[in-house]
Amino acid sequence: MLRGLYTATAGMISQQRRMEMLSNNLSNANTPGYKTDQSSLRAFPEMLLSRMESANIPVQNAPSFNKLQPIGALNTGVYLQDITPNHIQGDMRPTGNDTDLAILNGNLPENTSVFFTVQHQDGTPRYTRNGNFTIDSQGYLTTNNGLYVLDDTNNRIQINTNTFTLQPDGTLLVDDQVQARLGIALANNTNDLIRDGSGLFRPAEGQQMVNANGGFQILQGHIERSNVDTAQTMSEMTAAYRAFEANQKVIQAYDTSMQKAANEIGRIN
C-alpha cells in the first residue's frame, strides 16, 4: 500500500512542476523573443516483485528451503525528466522603431538557430532573440535591461544616434557610413543551449557559438513575438491539473484504507 502512496506522490510532484513551467510560458506570451519551454515525463524503473515461499525437497527427512515466486512488475511513478526550450521562430511584429530588430531565419538546418550577442554583467557573452533594443545616455546600443549589444568582434556598439540604417546582413550604417556589424551567433545545436534568465541563453560547458555568415535576415523596425501558443498552453494546464487531481484522489483513497486498517481491522467486539 505504501508503494502506491509513493507512486501517486511522484505523479503529483511531476504535474506540479509541469504546471509551474506552463504558467511561466503563459506569463511570457507577450515577451519579445521568448522561447516556450517543453517538458517530458519519464517513468521510474519498474521493480519486479516476488513472493517468498517455503519448498521441500521430495526426500524423506529433507530440509526445507525458501524460494522466490515472481509476482510481476510494479511501476514506481513518473518524474519530470527535463525542460527544454522550443526554438521555433515566432511571428514578426512591425513596430516602426529603428532600434527594434528581429532575426528572420532563412535556410538554416534543423535544430540550429541564430541569436543577437550581448554582454552579460560578468563580461561574458550571452545570446538572445529579443531585439527590443534602445540607445543609452552614452550612445551605446543596449537591451531593454541595460546589457550592451556586441558586434561581430565582441565589442560594444556605440552610434550616438537613434537614427540609423541596418542592412539585412546586420551591417549598421549611420549617414551611409558603416559603423559596425551586429554580432549574430550561430548555435549548431539548440539543445546545447542553457536558459540564463531574462530571455538569455548560454552554451553548455564544452560548447561554443560561432559567427553566422548567412542563412538569416535582420529586420529593422520589427520585433519577434513569443512563440508561445496560448490556447495549447491553457489546454495543457487543464490536463496537468486533472492529472494532479487524479493522483490526489488516489492518495485520499489510500489514506481512507489505511485509516480503516488501523481503526477497524482487528477490533474486538
Extended strands (E) in the chain? 37-43, 47-56, 64-74, 78-85, 92-94, 101-105, 113-119, 125-128, 133-135, 141-143, 148-149, 165-166, 171-174, 177-181, 184-187, 193-195, 200-203, 210-211, 216-220, 222-224
DSSP label at residue 126:
E
What pLDDT does 268 receive? 58
What pLDDT does 162 receive? 79
How much is the average pLDDT of 11-27? 94
pLDDT class for 50, splitting at 50, 70, 90?
A: confident
What pLDDT does 138 receive? 92
Residues 243, 11 contacting (CB under 8 angstroms): yes
What pLDDT does 4 receive? 78
Q: What percent of the chain has pLDDT over 90?
A: 56
Per-residue DSSP letters for 240-257? HHHHHHHHHHHHHHHHHH
- Of the spans 42-46, 104-108, 113-117, 202-206, which averages the highest pLDDT? 113-117
* Stronger pLDDT, 42 or 34, i.e. the higher one: 34
What pLDDT does 67 receive? 67
| 166-225 tens-digit pLDDT | 999 999 999 889 999 999 999 989 988 999 988 999 998 888 898 888 889 999 999 999
